[in-house]
């Protein structure tokens, strides 16, 4: 079965997903595109032979499955419309920028009784993070105690704010922490100190987030968005009996003239291309099976919990103190492992 996909929002990541689905995802065809900028919609649609739709609502009617990659505040409208139409929907992060909007999405999905929403926390599909999680779950390093993470962007556009370091950057590390330890985050602290000379005036960069999980694992996340030298992603879990860390590079290491060299990416799209490719392969596969639920990996609950942690993070950035994360009870619909990403060769 070919899954006929429509993509709403074809800016940077939306266009990437259009090309990925059209050119490298077996079983998918991009048939429809919509964007607030009609010229952009036309030009991206022309690259893959898709039709342009004037609105997200019309596009949802015309396709088998929907990708939402538009501006965050518009996500709720499209995701709820896709749920109402009974169509699988892949939503880029954030699921929605406020907890109330995420609540409404959860309510809509729970009322329909089917898991249709997948959230684009692609790190869960990244081979390095998956290898790390396998070690943690396998018990080789004993009970986890701590995680150290760094998320360094080369630079950000002038409209990027200090708050976005939490909601746009560290949100990925928040999701990784929830997934890695399979438990909720109960409190967030955000520390800021000396500001990078490369940051705009008034901008609080870098930031250090301390996340506390329900069982007491502490996760420190350095989030910097003016690192300049590379897109540098780090992670190390410290257990009672050992540690596991992300490997430095997936490429080759050259040693010559008394020094070792390895390439590091400068663009996040390059660093996470294997993860983005894997997440769409998994999504199309699960839709093609025609099961009642059409989600794989992060669900609407994960999107809701991440937004709730970000709200606590924003409060912590303002207050300078530890802020608790309060979550509503997890609906039954999500209390299952059936949506988890299959490992290679696992029959569904
Ligand atoms: C960006 O906003 C993203 O969402 C990317 O997925 C992430 O890897 C990058 O670091 C962020 O700045």
- Could you give the C-alpha distances from 124 to 80, 90, 135, 322, 323, in angstroms and in order? 24, 15, 14, 27, 26
135 and 248 assigned to the same domain:
yes
69, 129, 172, 225, best to mutate for ligand 1 pocket (most atoms within 8 Å of CB):
172
Residue 226 CB less than 6 A away from ligand 1 = no
- Ligand 1 center–CA 268 separation, angstroms: 6
**249 vs 25, more confident:** 25
138 and 237 assigned to the same domain:
yes
263 and 318 assigned to the same domain:
no
pLDDT tens string 79-110: 999 999 999 999 999 999 999 999 999 999 99
d(CA 31, CA 7): 9
d(CA 295, CA 281): 12
Mean pLDDT for the chain overall: 95
User: Can you tell me which atom of ligand 1 is nearest the CA of 272?
Assistant: 8
131 and 259 assigned to the same domain:
yes
Residue 168 CB less than 6 A away from ligand 1 = yes
- Ligand 1 center–CA 155 separation, angstroms: 11
Tell me if 343 is assigned to some domain.
no
pLDDT confidence bin for 348, thresholds 50/70/90 = very low
CB distance 162 to 196 below 8 Å: no
92 and 197 assigned to the same domain:
no
Q: How many domains does the chain have?
A: 2
pTM of the complete model: 0.96
Residue 268 CB less than 6 A away from ligand 1 = yes
pLDDT tens string 162-190: 999 999 999 999 999 999 999 999 999 99
- Ligand 1 center–CA 7 separation, angstroms: 19
pLDDT tens string 198-228: 988 889 999 999 999 999 999 999 999 999 9
CB distance 205 to 196 below 8 Å: yes
Question: In terms of residue numbers, what domain contains 276?
Answer: 3-123+272-300+314-335
CB distance 220 to 149 below 8 Å: yes
pLDDT at 347 > cutoff 50: no
Cα angle value 145/148/150 (rounded, 5°): 165
Neighbour-count burial of 218, counting CB atoms closer than 10 A to its CB (0-12 exposed, 13-18 middle, 19+ buried): middle
pLDDT at 260 > cutoff 80: yes
CB distance 3 to 66 below 8 Å: no
d(CA 233, CA 127): 13
pLDDT tens string 109-164: 999 999 999 999 999 999 999 999 999 999 999 999 999 999 999 999 999 999 99
Tell me if 306 is assigned to some domain.
no
145 and 247 assigned to the same domain:
yes
- Ligand 1 center–CA 10 separation, angstroms: 16
Position 344 scores a pLDDT of 60
pLDDT tens string 262-292: 988 999 999 999 999 999 999 999 999 998 8
CATH of the domain at 116: 3.40.50.720
Dihedral sign, Cα of residue 61, residue 5, residue 19, residue 344: positive
DSSP 206: S
Over pLDDT 90: what percentage of the chain? Answer: 91
- Ligand 1 center–CA 50 separation, angstroms: 27
Q: What residues contact residue 24 under an 8 Å CB cut-off, 6+ apart?
A: 277
Nearest CA to ligand 1 atom 11: 169
319 and 231 assigned to the same domain:
no
Residue 109 CB less than 6 A away from ligand 1 = no
Query: Which DSSP string corresponds to 275-325?
Result: HHHHHHHHHHHHHHTT-S----SS-HHHHHHHHHHHHHHHHHHHHSS-EE-
pLDDT at 345 > cutoff 50: no
Residue 153 CB less than 6 A away from ligand 1 = yes
Strand order in the sheet with 28-34: 51-52, 28-34, 3-8, 65-68, 89-91, 117-119
């Amino acid at each position: 079965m070919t899954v006929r996909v429509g993509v709403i929002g074809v800016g940077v990541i939306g266009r990437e997903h259009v090309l990925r689905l059209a050119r490298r995802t077996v079983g998918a065809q991009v048939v429809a595109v919509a964007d607030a900028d009609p010229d952009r919609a036309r030009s991206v649609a022309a690259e893959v032979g898709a039709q342009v739709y004037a609105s997200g609502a019309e596009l949802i009617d015309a396709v088998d499955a929907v990708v939402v990659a538009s501006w965050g505040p518009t996500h709720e409208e499209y995701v709820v419309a896709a749920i109402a139409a009974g169509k699988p929907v892949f939503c880029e992060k954030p699921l929605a920028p406020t907890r109330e909007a995420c609540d409404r999405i959860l309510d809509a999905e729970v009322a329909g009784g089917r898991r249709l929403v997948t959230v684009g926390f692609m790190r869960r599909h990244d081979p390095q993070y998956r290898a790390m999680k396998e070690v943690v779950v396998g018990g080789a390093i004993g009970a986890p105690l701590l995680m150290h993470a760094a998320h360094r962007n080369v630079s950000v556009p002038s409209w990027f704010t200090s708050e976005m370091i939490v909601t746009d950057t560290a949100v990925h590390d928040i999701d990784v922490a929830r997934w890695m330890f399979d438990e909720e985050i109960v409190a967030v602290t955000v520390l800021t100190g000396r500001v990078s000379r490369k940051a705009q005036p008034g901008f609080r960069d870098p930031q250090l987030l301390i996340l506390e999980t329900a069982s007491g694992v502490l996760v420190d996340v350095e989030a910097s968005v003016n690192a300049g030298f590379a897109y540098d992603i780090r992670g190390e879990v410290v257990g009672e009996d050992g540690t596991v860390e992300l490997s430095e590079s997936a490429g080759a290491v050259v040693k010559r003239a008394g020094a070792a060299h390895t390439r590091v990416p400068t663009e996040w799209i390059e660093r996470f291309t294997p993860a983005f490719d894997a997440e769409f392969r998994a999504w199309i596969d699960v839709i093609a099976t025609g099961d009642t639920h059409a989600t794989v990996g992060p669900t609407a609950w994960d999107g809701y919990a991440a937004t709730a942690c970000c709200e606590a993070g924003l409060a912590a950035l303002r207050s300078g103190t530890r802020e608790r994360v309060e979550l509503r009870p997890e609906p039954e619909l999500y209390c299952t492992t059936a949506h988890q990403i299959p490992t290679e060769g696992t029959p569904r």
